[in-house]
């Protein structure tokens, strides 16, 4: 129970410091807490490296991150491992200085950086959440040098140099292969730009009292990390034994063009897997028979089409008020502007994706969304996000075409939150760590576990169909939509992971993902984030 709760919290540096202060004020001695935390880290290090011939080079910073590192060094030394310290700071915090003196008295050698080059593993205790400014000078040079060695690096709390909240690299940063996040997940672990420095992330729970956490973070907290347990509790959306198809929601998918016919099929097939009671699909007339053949359970509307094969207009006898939700965008092209305008005016929950978003971006999006008579869900990737919210765009993540991850403004959590506040929409900002901004509490939901296997054409169409189907079911029951968006995000990512585990990352194409959607809900392996055993 505690394990599940703890996994949901996400903190900033100042919130972590506030929680820590409450614990210390209540009587927990600082030194005792450091012993406890470092003991837990040591246990994990020994599990990972049971062979006592392993040698550890330990990087010691001036604050309590360095203190943790010194306690770990001492414990590894007592267990018979070879340990060397690199402690380049002349001035240390008091507790850290005590541990440094004791380590020296035990004969643990302090060495120059070059002497760590022959160690098997490095442990990074330079800086944790107390980092206040960019790394520079000798320490930055030392970090850069370490990064060229390509050794396993275990970072304590955060890779040194990473901003605790944004995950941005401040000057330079240690490139960890694994990071032990201490106590509560820091925001950096849920930001895309930190991921290549964090490596494998693992939470070390050291029993911060829930009462103190809740007091600082509020109930419900502002941020919520989506857990498998939460998502599974919302899925599948429960149905009564006496239900009928129209009570399970009716989704209208508006999608496809002659150029992008497959997108319509993928979205429709994924919507079907959501359990939605009724599925209608509006496509250009020339796609109608293909959709009927591939998704025979859908009602398919053939729409008048433009010369280029995009939807020109919806059929006159199609009544938008008949649907519990509408999802639009997959394979649409940017032509059907009046169609998207018409959908935006409908008093029906609306999901916009892909070209639906690109068209919305030309329609003065913020006031348009604020005037919507029903809820809106947007699912932009960073490029679409920037077109929709240009003043927030810099905060949404790296440029699509750029491999620079060092964007100092790349705070996706903040971007999703502010986009939702501005527009009133639920904004699902795609990326490795999806951030969902809402106008409710929590203000942002964050999905921690995904797979690069989902970074491929078609997987966005699967998400749109799945999410659209779930929104229709939830809207029909008057359930809040935000938790459903979070659950769909998790379901989509978990499907990608399950499909990749079975077929490799290369084999987890969109059609395979659709086949795996129901299997995720049948699996019992959702007890922690390392489910599926990889
Ligand atoms: N939150 C908690 O409850 C606990 C925290 N602990 C550890 O304590 C850490 C936080 O400790 P501190 O607050 O001492 O902070 P840090 O150890 O992260 O670093 C702060 C020190 O680094 C200096 N500094 C900051 N930026 C610098 C830069 N760019 N170049 C050079 N020096 C710089 C500061 O002046 C200060 O002396 C955590 O990350 C964690 O490792 C654990 O020991 C125990 C429990
Ligand atoms: K560190």
Q: Between residues 452 and 256, which one has the greater pLDDT?
A: 256
- In a 3-state reduction of DSSP, which class is residue 44? helix
Residue closest by Cα to atom 43 of ligand 1: 34
Q: Between residues 400 and 86, which one has the greater pLDDT?
A: 86
Indicate the average pLDDT of the chain.
Answer: 93
**pLDDT greater than 60 at residue 399:** no
Give the span between the Cα atoms of 412 and 395, in whole angstroms.
6
Q: DSSP labels for 306-332?
A: -TTSSEEE--TT--GGG-SEEEE-TT-
What's the whole-model pTM score?
A: 0.93
Domain assignments of the chain as residue spans, ordered by start: 2-219, 228-533
Tally the residues of the chain.
534
Q: Is the CB of 161 under 6 A from ligand 1?
A: no
Question: Model confidence over 137-185: pLDDT tens digits?
Answer: 999 999 999 999 999 999 999 999 999 999 999 999 999 999 999 999 9
Tell whether residue 351 is among the known ligand binding residues. no
Domains 2-219 and 228-533 share a fold: no
**pLDDT greater than 60 at residue 25:** yes
H or E element at residue 428: strand 426-429
Let me know: does 505 contact 456? Beta carbons within 8 Å: no
Tell whether residue 469 is among the known ligand binding residues. no
pLDDT of residue 74: 98
pLDDT of residue 348: 97
**pLDDT range class, residue 524, cuts 50, 70, 90:** low
Give the span between the Cα atoms of 350 and 253, in whole angstroms.
10
Q: Is the CB of 124 under 6 A from ligand 1?
A: no
Question: Model confidence over 190-236: pLDDT tens digits?
Answer: 999 999 999 999 999 999 999 999 999 999 899 999 998 888 877 77
Report the CATH number of the 228-533 domain. Answer: 3.40.1190.20
pLDDT of residue 453: 85
Average pLDDT of the residues in 432-456: 93
Q: Is the CB of 491 under 6 A from ligand 1?
A: no
Report the CATH number of the 2-219 domain. Answer: 3.40.50.10260
**pLDDT greater than 90 at residue 457:** no
Task: Specify the ligand 1 atom closest to the Cα of 134.
Answer: 29
Question: Model confidence over 244-289: pLDDT tens digits?
Answer: 877 789 999 999 999 999 999 999 999 999 999 999 999 999 999 9
pLDDT of residue 534: 31
Residue carrying structure tokens 């491992």: 81
Let me know: does 137 contact 158? Beta carbons within 8 Å: no
Q: Is the CB of 33 under 6 A from ligand 1?
A: yes
Tell whether residue 131 is among the known ligand binding residues. yes
């Amino acid at each position: 129970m505690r394990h599940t709760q703890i996994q949901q919290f996400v903190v900033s540096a100042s919130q972590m410091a506030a929680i820590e202060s409450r614990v210390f004020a209540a009587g927990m001695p600082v030194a005792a807490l450091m012993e406890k935390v470092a003991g837990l880290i040591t246990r994990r290090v020994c599990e990972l490296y049971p062979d006592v011939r392993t040698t550890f080079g330990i990087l010691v910073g001036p604050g309590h991150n360095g203190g943790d590192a010194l306690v770990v060094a001492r414990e590894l030394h007592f267990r018979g491992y070879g340990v060397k310290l690199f402690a380049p700071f002349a001035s240390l915090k008091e507790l850290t200085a005590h541990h440094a003196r004791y380590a020296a008295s035990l004969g643990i050698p302090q060495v120059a950086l070059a002497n760590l080059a022959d160690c098997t593993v490095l442990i990074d205790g330079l800086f944790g959440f107390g980092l206040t400014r960019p790394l520079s000078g000798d320490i930055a040079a030392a970090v850069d040098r370490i990064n060229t060695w390509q050794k396993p690096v275990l970072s304590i709390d955060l890779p040194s140099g990473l901003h605790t909240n944004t995950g941005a690299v401040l000057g330079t940063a240690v490139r960890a292969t694994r990071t032990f996040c201490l106590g509560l997940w820091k925001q950096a672990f849920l930001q895309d730009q930190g991921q290549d420095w964090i490596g494998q992330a693992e939470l070390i729970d050291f029993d911060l009292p829930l009462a103190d956490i809740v007091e600082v973070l509020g109930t419900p907290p502002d941020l919520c990390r989506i857990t498998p347990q939460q998502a599974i509790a919302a899925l599948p959306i429960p149905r009564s034994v006496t239900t009928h198809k129209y009570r399970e929601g009716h989704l209208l998918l508006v999608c496809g063009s002659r150029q992008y016919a497959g997108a319509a099929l993928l979205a429709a097939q994924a919507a079907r897997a959501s359990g939605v009671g009724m599925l209608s699909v509006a496509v250009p007339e020339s796609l109608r028979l293909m959709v009927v053949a591939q998704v025979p359970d859908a009602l398919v509307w053939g729409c008048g089409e433009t010369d280029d094969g995009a939807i020109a207009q919806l059929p006159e006898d199609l009544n938008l008020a008949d649907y519990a939700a509408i999802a639009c965008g997959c394979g649409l092209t940017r032509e059907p502007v009046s169609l998207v305008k018409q959908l935006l005016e409908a008093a029906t929950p609306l999901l916009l994706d892909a070209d639906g978003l690109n068209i919305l971006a030309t329609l003065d999006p913020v006031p348009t969304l604020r005037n919507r008579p029903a809820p809106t869900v947007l699912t932009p990737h960073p490029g679409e996000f920037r077109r929709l919210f240009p003043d927030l765009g810099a905060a949404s993540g790296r440029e699509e075409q750029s491999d620079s991850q060092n964007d100092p403004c790349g705070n996706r959590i903040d971007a999703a939150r502010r986009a939702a506040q501005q527009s009133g929409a639920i904004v699902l900002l795609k990326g490795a760590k999806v951030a969902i901004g809402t106008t409710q509490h929590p203000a942002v939901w964050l999905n921690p576990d995904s797979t690069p296997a989902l970074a491929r054409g078609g997987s966005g169409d699967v998400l749109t169909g799945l999410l659209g189907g779930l929104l229709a079911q939830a809207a029909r029951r008057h359930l809040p939509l935000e938790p459903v968006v979070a659950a769909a995000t998790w379901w989509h990512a978990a499907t990608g992971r399950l499909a990749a585990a079975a077929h490799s990352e290369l084999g987890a194409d969109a059609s395979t993902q659709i086949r795996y959607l129901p299997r995720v809900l049948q699996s019992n392996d959702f007890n922690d984030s390392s489910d599926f055993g990889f």
